[in-house]
Every structure is written in structure tokens, then in C-alpha cells.
């Protein structure tokens, strides 16, 4: 290598340039090192957050699995119990249940009364009240009608019977809870005669009438 020759001022200026260049390279290395450390720190932090979220999700799933159907049913038995043998969401402030109708399903009850010589009588209701005693109500109406001598080979008299049973059910259950009866259907089959009395939703809404008719057809085919 040729030895550099020059004035002292020139040599001093060259030395300063070399020093400045070395300092810049060192600074760049430091910045790159800091940037690398920062990226690694961010990556590690993200990994920690991801692990934490995975753990929370796993814990949540494990907790969900621990809630068994039996425990759900037990909880509902407590939460949904109402007075008078009913279940659902409290509806004391309204005539009919508004949001928990799944606890007031339509039903059909078949009667084979001796007073009707065992011809089938079907009674159906949509009602937001305890109907545990419906057999007593219908049997009571049949007994009164029979004792009055109105059950016989008279088509009009048998038509009247379905009306008496329907109105008896309406008055009785509406007295238990004001205007809780939404619909009543009474169907009587006797020899070569099909008599059906509909009121409320069974008369006014085709879907209710259709549901009743289809369920009745299924019952008679079982």
C-alpha cells in the first residue's frame, strides 16, 4: 500500500472522515440490533397473547361441556315454575302468555263416556292455565246433559252437546284466569255423523285449525 503523503491539515481531515464513517457503521449496526430486538419482543408478545387466548377458549369449551342436560333441566324446573301447576315465564300482567307459548301447547283429550255409548269425543284447547282438571269439567258437563235426557238419537241434540261442552270449558277456565282461553275445539263422532264445534283461534286462524285436524287424524290412526 502506498503511504499517504500530504499536509498535516489534509491528514487530519482524512482521519476525521474515517472516524465519522466508522461511527456511522457502528450506529447502523446498533439500530439494526435494536430493530431486531424490537421485532423479537413484538413477536414474543403476540405469541404470549395467542397462547392466552387459546387457553381462554379451551377453558370456555371445557366449562361448556361441564353443563350437562340434566343440570340445564334442573335449573329450568326452578326458574320456570309458576303457581297453579303451570310453567313458563310469569304472565300475571296479561291475559295470555306472550313470549313463552312453548309452555302452553295445544292438546287433544279423548273421552269414551258411557253416556255417549262409548262413541269418541275429542276436546282440544289453547289455554294459558292449568288444565289438570279438564276430565272433571268435561265429565261434569256430560253428566248434566245426560241427566237432562238430551243424549239420544237426535242429531240437533248432539250438536247442542258440543256447544255446551265448549262453553262450559270457556267459562270455567276463564274464571280461573281472566280471558286465558284462546281457542276450543270439540269433535264428536257418532254413527254416520261427524260433529265439530270450533271457537276462538280454531275458528279464526287456519294454522291452528290445520294443526288440530292433522293431530286428530294422527290420533285416530294410532
Q: What is the CATH number of the domain that holds 197?
A: 3.30.1130.10
Q: Are residues 27 and 116 in the same domain?
A: no
87 falls within a domain: no
Q: Are residues 59 and 115 in the same domain?
A: no
pLDDT at 216 exceeding the cut of 90: yes
**In this predicted structure, what is the pLDDT of residue 84?**
86
Q: Pick the range with the lowest mean pLDDT from 21-25, 38-42, 198-202, 212-216.
A: 21-25
Q: Are residues 133 and 212 in the same domain?
A: yes
pLDDT at 168 exceeding the cut of 90: yes
99 falls within a domain: no
**Which has more confidence, 28 or 179?**
179
Q: Are residues 61 and 148 in the same domain?
A: no
Burial 188-222 (b: 16+ CB within 10 A, else e): beeeeeebbbbbbbbeeeeebbebbeeebeeeeee
Is the pTM above the cut of 0.75? no
81 falls within a domain: no
Domains in the chain, number: 2
Q: Are residues 60 and 123 in the same domain?
A: no
Q: Are residues 9 and 58 in the same domain?
A: yes
Report long-range pairs for 149-155 (Cβ below 8 Å, ≥24 apart): 151/115, 151/116, 155/193
The residue segments making up the domain with residue 8 are: 1-66
The mean per-residue pLDDT over the stretch 197-219 comes to 95
34 falls within a domain: yes
Name beta bridge partners: 121.
111, 188
Helices (DSSP H) in the chain: which residue ranges?
8-66, 69-79, 134-147, 155-176, 201-204, 206-221
Q: Are residues 52 and 2 in the same domain?
A: yes
Q: Are residues 144 and 206 in the same domain?
A: yes
Q: Are residues 212 and 151 in the same domain?
A: yes
Q: Are residues 111 and 58 in the same domain?
A: no
**In this predicted structure, what is the pLDDT of residue 48?**
73
pLDDT at 151 exceeding the cut of 80: yes
Q: Are residues 217 and 166 in the same domain?
A: yes
174 falls within a domain: yes
Could you tell me the three cell numbers for 188?
264428536
pLDDT at 9 exceeding the cut of 60: yes
Model confidence over 169-179: pLDDT tens digits?
999 999 999 99
Binning pLDDT at 50, 70 and 90, where does residue 39 land?
Answer: low
Mean pLDDT, rounded, of the chain: 85
Q: Are residues 109 and 173 in the same domain?
A: yes
Amino acid at each position: 500500500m502506498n503511504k499517504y503523503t500530504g499536509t498535516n491539515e489534509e491528514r487530519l481531515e482524512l482521519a476525521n472522515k474515517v472516524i465519522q464513517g466508522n461511527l456511522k457503521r457502528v450506529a447502523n449496526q446498533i439500530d439494526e440490533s435494536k430493530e431486531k430486538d424490537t421485532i423479537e419482543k413484538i413477536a414474543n408478545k403476540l405469541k404470549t397473547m395467542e397462547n392466552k387466548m387459546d387457553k381462554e377458549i379451551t377453558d370456555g369449551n371445557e366449562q361448556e361441556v361441564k353443563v350437562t342436560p340434566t343440570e340445564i333441566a334442573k335449573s329450568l324446573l326452578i326458574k320456570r315454575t309458576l303457581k297453579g301447576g303451570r310453567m313458563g315465564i310469569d304472565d300475571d300482567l296479561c291475559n295470555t302468555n306472550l313470549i313463552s307459548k312453548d309452555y302452553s301447547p295445544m292438546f287433544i283429550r279423548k273421552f269414551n263416556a258411557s253416556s255417549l255409548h262409548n262413541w269418541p269425543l275429542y276436546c282440544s284447547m289453547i289455554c294459558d292455565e292449568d288444565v289438570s282438571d279438564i276430565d272433571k269439567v268435561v265429565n261434569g258437563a256430560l253428566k248434566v246433559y245426560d241427566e237432562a235426557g238430551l243424549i239420544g238419537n237426535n242429531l240437533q241434540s248432539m250438536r247442542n252437546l258440543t256447544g255446551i261442552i265448549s262453553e262450559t270449558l270457556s267459562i270455567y277456565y276463564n274464571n280461573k284466569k281472566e280471558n286465558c282461553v284462546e281457542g276450543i275445539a270439540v269433535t264428536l263422532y257418532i254413527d254416520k255423523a261427524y260433529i265439530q264445534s270450533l271457537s276462538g283461534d280454531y275458528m279464526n286462524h287456519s294454522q291452528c285449525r290445520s294443526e288440530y285436524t292433522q293431530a286428530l287424524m294422527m290420533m285416530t290412526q294410532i
